[in-house]
Structure 1
Amino acid sequence: MIHLQNISKTYRLNGKRKVVADDITATFPSGQAIALLGRNGAGKSSLLRMISGAMLPSSGKILSTGTISWPVGFAGSFNGELTGEQNCRFVARVYGIDTDELLFFVQDFAELGDHFKLPLRTYSSGMKSRLAFGLSMAVPFDTYLVDEVSAVGDAAFKAKSNRVFNERMSKSGAIVVSHSMGMLRKTCHAGAVLENGKLTYYPNLEDAISVHMTNMRETDTG
């Protein structure tokens, strides 16, 4: 269970006040995959970062009864001077995971070959993405945060990525941001819509999608 209690977040952008979260109180039930919907710029990624702990709200609390991932596939916190292996070792120590098991999984999954032992600054963007996705899947979380994740590589690698991701979702919950309604319908059962800083939870995904699509049409005609 993840509970948002009176969460507010405000930015100053180009001298203007941008409200991402306006006194949000909501609960995401345990063990469910929930689609997080909202128009571009609504603050979905910021809300995920607050839930992950990477960003602090301006006010309010986020409470959880289980472990929460960083956004799946996010490579921004890697140290470019460390090797892929060293970055993975660091994460294993932070989360108390068996280091050898984690390294075996990531090295096998990411298919980096000798590059696994080279500094990340030598990696292509695709290699970083494969490493980041593999590391995300190597740590067992109660809730995965997914922000527009897309597997990189050839068809075989994408199929492997989808298979592993679906295996994790069968045992854990997730909060998923995606513009693909097809992907959300395959992955999620419930939804939440972020609109003008307010978040509304819907136990039925189709209800959430319907509200979101109505909001988008109003934007197009407004």
Structure 2
Amino acid sequence: MITLESLTKYYPSQLGNQYIFENLNFTLPEGRNIAILGSNGAGKSTLFRILAGSEYPNKGRVKTDKSISWPVALATGVHPQMTGRENTRFIGRVNGVENLDVYEEKVKAFAELGEKYDLPVNTYSSGMRSRLAFGTCIAIDFDIYLIDEATSVGDQKFRQKAKQALLDKSKQANVIMVSHDVKEIEEFCDSAVIVHKGELTFYDDLQEGLRVYKKL
């Protein structure tokens, strides 16, 4: 499970600190595929970044015993001077992948990079870079996958491939998703957390959560 303990997050401004969360205590239930919902500016993206470890609370902490992916579609940790293969091996080592050779080939095949896998990433198009980043993440068996508009990666054919890979993962692991696409949320998620006025509310029934979200 993931527990937020006395979590406080604010951003400085000319009007003083603008609090997103203040002394927030909350546990995300285990074994659920959760959509993070909220109106614009409510803090859902901030919460997502804190769960991903790409942003830190001002106070408090996130506590978990689960392995959590970085946001699936982001090119986090991909170094432009290294080749696709070198990036893959580096990411594999950092994440404790046991068989790097197998991992390397899985990523190459999934990302559909061909011989360009051995060229520096700074020679890649944005689509190629995104496919590499997606492949390095999806080829690792995490307990929880963080999904942020992940199925917008690449062309239509690759987007369908990416969506199917994530749906397959969601059957054996769990997902936490931020998306503006209700249809996509319904495909991936079975429950929801609504972010509203600095508080989090869990809805065991996704449809109930969506109804409340639409009234915000």
Same fold (TM over 0.5): yes
Match of 1:129 in 2: 130
Match of 2:205 in 1: 204
Match of 1:64 in 2: 64
**Large movers: runs of 4+ above 4 Å:** 13-16
- 40-49 or 94-103: bigger deviation: 40-49
- The within-5 A match list for 1:121-160 is 121-160=122-161
Distance 2:194 2:139 in 1: 29
| Unmatched runs of 5 consecutive residues or more in structure 2 | none
| Unmatched runs of 5 consecutive residues or more in structure 1 | 216-222
TM-aligned CA deviation for residue 15 of structure 1: 5.7
Q: 1:206 to 1:77 in 2, by over 3 A?
A: same
Aligned partners of 1:26 and 1:201 also within 8 Å: no
Residue-by-residue CA offset, 1:36-57 (whole Å, 9 max, x unaligned): 0012232222212211222221
Residue-by-residue CA offset, 1:23-71 (whole Å, 9 max, x unaligned): 2221112221000001223222221221122222111121112111111
- The within-5 A match list for 1:1-222 is 1-13=1-13, 17-97=17-97, 98-215=99-216
Q: 1:101 to 1:45 in 2, by over 3 A?
A: farther
SS at match of 1:54: coil
Distance 1:143 1:152 in 2: 20
The total of aligned residue pairs comes to: 215
Distance 2:173 2:101 in 1: 23
The root-mean-square deviation of aligned C-alpha atoms, in Å, is 1.6
TM-score under structure 2 normalisation?
Answer: 0.93
Distance 2:162 2:14 in 1: 39
Identical columns (%): 38
Aligned partners of 1:73 and 1:132 also within 8 Å: yes
For 2:164, give the aligned amino acid. Answer: R
SS at match of 2:41: coil
TM-score under structure 1 normalisation?
Answer: 0.90
